[in-house]
Every structure is written in structure tokens, then in C-alpha cells.
Structure 1
Amino acid sequence: MPDPFASGGPMLLAGTANRPLAQEIARYLDYPLGEVTIKKFSDGEIFVRIDENVRGRDLFIIQSTTAPGDNIIELLLLIDAARRASAARIHAVVPYFGYARQDRKDQPRVAIGAKLMANMIHSAGADRLLSVDFHQHQIQGFFDIPVDHLYASPVFTRYFREKRLTNLVVISPDVGSAKMARGFAKRLDATMGIIDKRRPQANVAEVMNVIGEVEGKDCLLSDDMIDTAGTMAEAAHALKALGAQDIYACATHALLSGPAVERLSKAPFKEIVVTDTVPVPQEKRFPGLTVISVGELLGRAIRYTHSNESVSSLFE
């Protein structure tokens, strides 16, 4: 069978948001990243140029939309440059899709940022989006182009299976993450619990109750992201107060903003496992934090997409 990544096949490009992950994807596929020039004018305006011929190519642009907003602009400019250079298909590979928490109008005079991001990616010229663990699944419906919504759960499941944990309880830190926790519990042959949480304002979490039996058991807190870590830290303290043994946590997107590192360092975790959808700089790393890669997962999804195979088979 001919190699679908031979000459004339797809091309991988990357912005500056997460070059190490893009390089990991390229290593897995044994295919080089295409050459691009990204620089800023003296006033901060971003200039993007694709330095290779992309005419008629299947193009995959790898760029997370983390802060600052320059990362979003880079993605849009790369898509626009590819469209104007006559790429055959343009796939936006967005490991972390930012603004996903602004997914509804839950108070007067607020923007629905997730829909705006979807509109801009579509308008720039993307033909498809690949992303990992949206904050809310309904965001797929915000796009007018096909969306491949990938899950980091196989990566986490493989990691925790190797630990051979017994008597494990998978804990959802809130009702919104219950489906993710249920999936982990099933794959890890564990029971499940839920944190009953009240959030008085954004980035402020108050744990109210723990639903489920945790005394004398190992616990695994699972969530899609860790931002300021208020939820995770309070949940860990609540579980420990109820007699839990070793407490682990896993989250796909390690934003780790504000007091997150301090909170997690002081919380009674044995280990916190995150992925590299968002780069974790050295100054935010601490004992007990483990970063695992989704490069292979995204690489396989890219290969399946280019070959018109089922991406959902990755999770069967």
C-alpha cells in the first residue's frame, strides 16, 4: 500500500502557540513541518507567509488558541494564506479551542465567544476542524464545517491502567464533567462519584458535598481543563477530609493560570496528569505534575482524515 504521506500528500504547518506538540505530531507521522515565516511589525501587527508551495495540497495547520489573542490571529492568517495559495483542503488542528467557556448567553449583554471563534475560523477559509476535548460538546454545532472532536481519554486510560490501581473511584468535579468521569470509570473498572459544587462567580469554586463512597479508596479527579485550579484543589481537600487514600487528577488542558500552581502544590494530590495541548513552561512545572503527549492521537487523526478513514475508530 503506498504511503499516503509520500510526496504530493498532505502538508503540516504550525503557528507559534505550541511548536513542541506540532513537532511531536510530525515525528509520529515521520513527515516534516512545512516552512512558514511568522513575525511582527514594530507596532505588533502579525505577518504570516507560507514558504512552500501548497497548491492542491491537503493542509493541516496546527495551532492552539490559548492566550494571548495573537495565537488566534496567527491561525486565521495561516488559514487565509493557505486558501489564497490554492490549497486543496485546509484543516485547522486546534488542540485547545479557546473561548469555549463562553458558549451561551447566561447573563445580559455578554458575547458568545465560542460561536464567534467558530465563525472566524470558517470565514478565514478552513474546511474542517480537529480539536481535543471541547469544554462543552455542543460547540461542535457552532461550526458550519465538519468537526472532528477528539478525546484525550484513551491517552489517560492507558497511563492509569499501567499503574494498576485497585479500589479506584473516578470523581467528577462537577455535574458538567460527569459524562467524562463515567467513561473513565468504565474503562478503568472503577466506581464513580460527583462533587456537588457551587460557583458564586467565575474562577471561584466552593465545594459543597461529595456524592459517592470514597473512604479508604484511591480517587481520580477528571476534568477537561485546569485553569486557576480552585475546583481541583477544593475537591482534593474535600476527598481527603472524607478519608480518601491516594488522590490523582487528570485534565486535558493545563492552563494553570493565576494561583493554580500554588494551589495544586499545596493540595493533597499524589499525582496530577495533564496533556500537552497547551504548552506547560518549566516555571509552571512542580513535583507531582506529569505531562503526557497527545501527539500520537492527533497524528493518527490527521492520517485517518487525509486517507478518508473513520476518525471515530480511534475511540472504539
Structure 2
Amino acid sequence: MSETPLIFALPGNEAMAQQLSAASGWQVGAWQLQRFPDGESKLRYLSQVQGRDVVLVCTLDQPDMRLMPLYLAASVARELGARRIGLVAPYLAYMRQDARFHPGEGITSAHFARLLSSFADWLITVDPHLHRHHSLDEIYSIPSKVVAAAPSIAAWLRLHLPQAVLIGPDEESEQWVAAVAQLAACRHTVLRKVRHGDHEVEVSVPDSANWQGLQPVLLDDIASTARTMVAACNHLHAAGLPPPVCIAVHALFAGDAWQVLQQAGVAQVVSCDTVLHISNQISMAPALAQAMMEMQAVSSRA
């Protein structure tokens, strides 16, 4: 029987790697990672990777900072004889620029996909921002698996907020919010969103007359500037509804977003643990571990 893969955590991903190890039974490998004073990265594998499958765990918020250590981790493992390199990236960056919006721009989602595909043999992520790309297969040349956050969010809602009404931030979110609502056995609606700029968002709230006695829960896939959630909170407050619970899959909270959202009169902010943040309460590790083992089984037969 072949040995199980070794899991290696890039900096900041240690907790997720330990949870994946516990859920899969795969061992967390030992290595040394350091940064020289001039900013260059150096790594040394202490666990034997020759002939083994290696799984790198690296969520890709702040991707420009994380990419070089990740690239070196994969390349050195390959140089030392690793059989396959898998990448578990709970948050997958560079999905927003999926079209050429202005002259002189590039479709950077495709370029980033080509780069990751050049050093990994497979990829697992959680709810990537798919808009004009309908699947990762359109831009990634390696096998990929998307783990849905909806079941994990719904399980959290059933346990903590059984009397919730789920609210999506815009019409594009309706299908996703509806899926969570169905799994959580609760009602849902969506808001209409008009964006006037990077930091200006206007949101209109549907008729809320039948929401009395229910806890409003705002759902969004990515909380970046948080302006969408803030605008929605203001409208819910104006409609006489109680402070909402805000749930995000990917808690990026760029700049002052976290502070601004805290000041918007929210009851609570909860996120999945795809990006390390104080709001993390919903664990994606069990679902990621299951996907990881399924991907390993398929790649081992190939």
C-alpha cells in the first residue's frame, strides 16, 4: 500500500493544515521556511518527499506576497522527487479580472491560472468568484475541485440561528443564497445593488413586512471593502429591522473594512475559515479534507 501524501502549510495556514490532517489522517510534513533580510525566501524540506505526493496548503489572500514561497515550495518538492503536487487554496485570488474592462488591460484571471497550473498537479478551493468564467476548467489546465460553502454555512445557521431570514446582497447572489436557505430550512430574499464606485454602493431592500420575529442574516461570498454589507445594514435599520448578522465566505476585509462594518450596527460578523480572521466560526476543513481525499484517489488511478 502506497504512503499517504504529506501536507505542508505555507505561513499562516498552519491551523488549517492541522485540521486537514486530523480529518484525513494524512501527516503534516516538517520543513523550514525563512526569509532573508533582502526579502528572498528559502525553504528546506525535513520530511522525505521523494516518491511521495505533497499537498501544499496556502490560502491566497494577499496573493502577491504569498505566491513566490508557494512557487518555490512546489518547485523544490518537484526537484527533490515528489510524485505529485496538490494545492489546497481555500481562497483563490485573481478571479475578479475575468474580462478586459478598459483598453490596455489584460484578463489576469487567465494569466494567474496558467501560473498555478504550471507548478501544481491539482487544485482545490472554496467558492471561487466565478462570473464570466463558468468553471475553473475554462482557465485552469489542471484538475480542480470546488468545495461549496453552502452546506457548512447552513449547518451553522441551523445550530445558531434557526429563526433566520437570509438576505443576499444583489440579484447575482440569489441562486447561492437560495441554496443555503434550502439547506437551512429558512426563508430568503435578495437586495438590488447599484455600485457607483469602488467605495460607493446603493442598496434597496424588498418589502420586509413579513420578516417580523426573524433574524436578518446578510450573506456574501467575499467581504472586501464591506461597503455592500454596510449599505444593506443601513437600509435594514431604516426598515425597522433588528441589527443583522453578517456572514461572509471569504473574510478579506481590506483596509478599514472591518472597523467600518463593526460601526454599522451589526449584531455579529461570522465568516468561514478560508481566510484567517477573528470572525472565523465556520470550519471548511471537513469538506476540504473530503475533497482532498477524493482528488487524491482520482489522481492515484491516473
Is TM-score (shorter-chain normalized) higher than 0.5?
yes
Question: For 1:102-144, what per-residue CA distance to the aligned partner results, in whole angstroms no more than 9, with x for missing partners?
Answer: 22212222232222221111112x1111001101262502101
Equivalent residue runs for 1:9-24 within 5 Å: 9-24=4-19
Amino acid at match of 1:15: L
Amino acid at match of 2:123: L
Tell me which of 38, 63, 70 is aligned to 2:33: 38
Deviation of residue 307 (structure 1)?
2.9
Q: What is the SS of the residue equivalent to 2:298?
A: coil
Contact 1:181 1:222 in 2 (8 A): yes
Are positions 1:243 and 2:240 aligned together? yes
Which position in structure 1 is the counterpart of 2:169? 173
Equivalent residue runs for 1:101-250 within 5 Å: 101-124=96-119, 126-136=120-130, 138=133, 140=136, 141-166=138-163, 168-202=164-198, 204-213=199-208, 215-216=211-212, 217-250=214-247
Unaligned 5+ segments in structure 1 are 1-5, 310-316
Unaligned 5+ segments in structure 2 are none
Q: What is the SS of the residue equivalent to 1:262?
A: helix
Deviation of residue 182 (structure 1)?
1.3
CA distance in 2, matches of 1:274, 1:266: 17
Deviation of residue 52 (structure 1)?
2.2
Amino acid at match of 2:129: H
CA distance in 2, matches of 1:17, 1:136: 25
Are positions 1:272 and 2:262 aligned together? no
Which position in structure 2 is the counterpart of 1:312? none
Query: What TM-score, normalized to structure 1?
Result: 0.85
Question: For 1:225-257, what per-residue CA distance to the aligned partner results, in whole angstroms no more than 9, with x for missing partners?
Answer: 111211111111112212323522211111112
Contact 1:193 1:213 in 2 (8 A): no
Deviation of residue 181 (structure 1)?
0.7
Which position in structure 2 is the counterpart of 1:294? 284
Tell me which of 254, 258, 262 is aligned to 1:261: 258
Contact 1:17 1:65 in 2 (8 A): no
Count of residues in correspondence between the two structures: 294
Q: What is the SS of the residue equivalent to 1:307?
A: helix
Question: For 1:142-195, what per-residue CA distance to the aligned partner results, in whole angstroms no more than 9, with x for missing partners?
Answer: 1011110111111111110013523x3221112332221111121122332222
Q: What is the SS of the residue equivalent to 2:179?
A: helix
Deviation of residue 59 (structure 1)?
1.8
Query: What TM-score, normalized to structure 2?
Result: 0.89
Q: Please give the root-mean-square deviation of Cα atoms over the aligned residues, in Å.
A: 2.1
Tell me which of 264, 289, 295 is aligned to 1:305: 295
Deviation of residue 294 (structure 1)?
1.5
